[in-house]
Structure 1
């Protein structure tokens, strides 16, 4: 006779909260990138760097604007996806998703360390963005530690 199995653990509200916070950040940044890119560039990089990032010819400016708008749309879609994922109740999926997000943020941090810091126009911004990647990654790590504690207490 098999021993009785323990009831499944209830879903974590921490996962829901972290997903919603990340979703709000991603959708807001994506919408700002799509519709207010120039203002966002001036705010984030300063007027001189923002002017350099716009391109020098009308053709370059159009390509850069379209590229940045698509990047904003992708970020908005990621935020919407995070909103949908926040309602998933499966603990195993939540853990798997959090681990994937940690890996994604680590790769973004490595990208900034190895490539973005070499760009003259963005060289002064990469440390601040690196701190953001680390903080976002730590929020998912916090969730994993919290869920591990819930599971084994």
Structure 2
């Protein structure tokens, strides 16, 4: 099976993470905010007026739907056995995670309510990017050994 087994496992892991996060964002955003940030910050993040709350809830629902779609896409891609496609896809995913880290460092940490949580999320993005990097090193080692 070769390098497709690690590719399959990484895709499935990322798929589970994305689908779980997306589902929680769509249906349990208030609870997720409270669990992740605390009651006071969750209250601030959920908006102060009914109009703001509706906009934030709609935005979170669409973000969750996007994460759910990404998770399903990752699940489908996990079954691709093309040896040329797998490293290409892994490089793209790694670049996306690096951009997410840059976004968190340069923009998200400036949001007062999210600044303390930025480090934890950045570490998570770095770990997800490293999983793709490990796959690339593994496939490169397999290719040239």
Bin of the TM-score, shorter chain as denominator length: over 0.9
Match of 2:52 in 1: 60
Q: State which structure, 1 or 2, has the greater radius of gyration over its C-alpha atoms.
A: 1
User: Structure 1-normalised TM-score?
Assistant: 0.93
Q: CA RMSD in A?
A: 1.0
Aligned to 1:114: 106
Aligned equivalent of 1:35: 27
Structure 2 partner of 1:99: 91
Listed one character per residue, the Cα deviations across residues 18-60 of structure 1 (whole Å, up to 9, x for unaligned) are 0000000000000000001000000111111000001111011
TM-score scaled to structure 2, two decimals? Answer: 0.98
Answer yes or no: is 1:142 the counterpart of 2:138.
Answer: no
Listed as ranges, the gaps of 5+ residues in structure 2 are none
Which secondary structure state, in structure 1, belongs to the residue aligned with residue 116 of structure 2? coil
Gaps of 5+ in 1: 1-8
Aligned residue in 2 for 1:47: 39
The alpha-carbon deviation at position 10 of structure 1 amounts to 5.1
Match of 2:64 among 65, 72, 87: 72
Per the alignment, residue 4 of structure 1 pairs with none
Residue of structure 2 in register with 1:152 after alignment? 144
- Contact 1:116 / 1:122 at 8 angstroms: preserved in 2? yes
Across the two proteins, how many residue pairs are aligned to each other? 145
Structure-2 separation of matches of 1:11 and 1:122: 38
Q: Which position in structure 2 is the counterpart of 1:5? A: none
Structure-2 residue corresponding to 1:88? 80
Structure 1 residues 62-117: Cα deviation after superposition (integer angstroms, max 9, x where no partner): 01000000000000000000000000010111000000011000000000000011
Q: Does 1:130 align with 2:122?
A: yes
SS of 2:84's equivalent in the other structure is helix
